[in-house]
Structure 1
């Protein structure tokens, strides 16, 4: 059962105010009980970093809500181990990737996952591209068009011979503003490619997610894992708005508080919960940039963050993932991830 008009109206009325409150990390419409996973039992879900310190304003709002509404403890962070750091030729999805300019960086190499191979749709001649996240390929304010992209990330002895696969082409992320709709970037691919995902197979096409959809992803760190979509997508406003820390970018002004912040807000996202016990967790650091697929190998979204129930600051493998719908990524970057080009 899709979200009701009343439920969407409540979410839209709350959203402009809650991100000015301390400890609030997100809002969406999704499954009220993520243990029973009933796609017809929906609620407005407000996420906070610490459920023992819910702002009184949130309690007041929920007390007046005419529709089911719940508070869940969850924080979200970019998914920056025994990873797959092997060279893969032809280049395919689900493999290690990064920007070469960080090879000798004292702050470390922000490796992630090359999600899948696609093509541009707005260039005079289609260009073969690799899709990942902004915080993997572009990462910070020193990024620039044409910077070298390598696969795999460097090993303990440095770069691999022939590791260059292309150059940074474009990105989409709220670098200098508080809010945006995607954490995505593309690079050209100048070597042989395959329209497939390691351990998954050929990409069939793209489609939209729905609550209860069984999905999977293949990431550089955790490999092939399985999950269940928990966010409603019956209306664009039912999807989630979440905030996460972006310490690698300069502070921006939060228009709700008028104060500088290193947080960034992404709207129109959805969440995936791990399908336990088929998988113990869904993602970990380095899985950023993985594409999320349905059981027919259609891409439904681009993974960019992980959700944690704990509040102690320890970052380990995550039970939840935050994903940008693939139609948003394709539209914003002018690309197609269809299997046939």
Structure 2
């Protein structure tokens, strides 16, 4: 199976990859258990469907996701566009970690990631979060040095503001910006996406189905005790019931359009990106092949102007913010998350 591709970035820093990728946080059990044999089988199914863009990070399972990917990559490395990240301290639990954008930390973490991944380079290396105590120019300068060293082929940033993007891009060409973007999470449309389009920077959207809310089998009662979603306001007891019912509106629209809800969610994103003249790749994560196939239907979904407008309206009804801490995401630092309450530490 051959999937359509997209060009992230411009000029010498252009990275051509599939417009549909795989977010490998799920391999580390963030949304429920998956053992290594099942993870490797899932990766094979993903590969067989033509998905060759795989995104991970050093903190996913404190190296577990990278380690599993390293085993899968044996004999396939040249076929895969591989992205990983640094910049969040790889210790502690989600929601309580600190950031670290110091050059020496970046240089240390790339070597550890390459060792786990079993490769001598990654195609795209992100600063996972900007460090408020380190000028972004210093962090990006260190990332650029990794290109010169042959360890990295292009660089990106995750959850950065439009202003941070401009400062970073002046230091070294940025290939991709990664952030959460979905029917329910739209703050990046205000400043970040127009900036990416203007500068020719690609955009990589994570959590495109709102961490599972925009699927057809989401069960609010089935979240396990260790499920990472408990840390996010959308899934707090006071918000979850409302948001689940709001997602039912999207499910009905999907049914009327003849699409599974995840397919509708991805088709909406591609439609919005086309309207913004934005180069987009989407990296949903899943542990199930059936979910993967439902997501892939979004690559070919054709949405009417009326349907897009109806989906656009849902974001205003979401209860709670997309992050446990406004400072942790670009929209929070750009004062675009007005519903913030009960913020946790990073």
Same fold (TM over 0.5): no
Greater RCO, CA 8 A, separation 6+:
1
Higher strand share goes to which structure? Answer: 1
Higher helix fraction (1 or 2): 2
Q: TM-score, normalised by structure 2?
A: 0.25
Give TM-score scaled by structure 1 length.
Answer: 0.25
